[in-house]
A = this chain, B = another copy of it.
Amino acid sequence: MKKAIVLGASRGIGKAISDSLKKLELDVISASRKDIDTSDLESVNKFADQNNSTDILVLNTGGPPIIEFDKITNEDWNRYHNQLFVGFCTLLQKIKVNDGGYIFVITSNVIKEPNSKLIISSAYRSAFSSVFKILSKEFAKSDVSLINIAPGPINTDRTRELVDDVVEYANSLPMKRLGEPEEIGNFVSAVIEKEIKYLSGVVINFDGSNSNFIF
């Protein structure tokens, strides 16, 4: 049976992806923060040693807190550099993704439209998206598809943290609602189930028509 590893799988989008993949014939490893803390490289290395190959890998982690630019310290930069960037790179260096596999990363719409509230996230998710795009060309040789999903306003604890009045916010959106984590979960599992391999190297906005940039 093919194997899937989903990070940040205890809640939100990660959980929805994990739940959706469990409906396929897959051995799904749903990792929570106690299994791997991507801000702690020791934890990352240990996880990679224990899970050194897979068919499907879903890179996903919580977002950093809101900090004003002037108040971000070196410690903050380094911590979230690890959590959002180095940890993921290390996993890609250490975990073998089998031929014909998939790697997904869940980033954010801030990689296209950076957000003053989410400076740290905008920066490091952009950095990782850049590496991910480059690697997509390498992995293509072994038929591994790399897909970057960039969610907008999704109905998660995170969004409820960031927004004062969720009902009002939802009403201001083009679809008059937040996206559901299950929509992303079902999307990921559908791509895998239908073996849509040529969808690779792509960044997919998942924001209910909310972004303004043409692409």
Contacts and interface: CB of A to CB of B under 8 A. Distances in A.
Interface string A112-132: 111110010011101111110
A204 B201 contact: no
- Copies of this chain present: 4
Interface string A124-154: 1011111101111111110101100000001
Interface string A83-96: 00110011011000
The range of chain A's interface size is: 35 or more
B175 A186 contact: no
Interface stretch (A4-12, A26-34, A66-74, A159-167): A66-74
B208 A140 contact: yes
Contact of A183 (B175, B190, B197): B197
Given A122-B131, A214-B130, A200 B196 contact: no
Given A69-B93, A69-B131, A133-B114, A201 B211 contact: yes
Given A131-B122, A135-B69, A140-B174, A209 B200 contact: yes
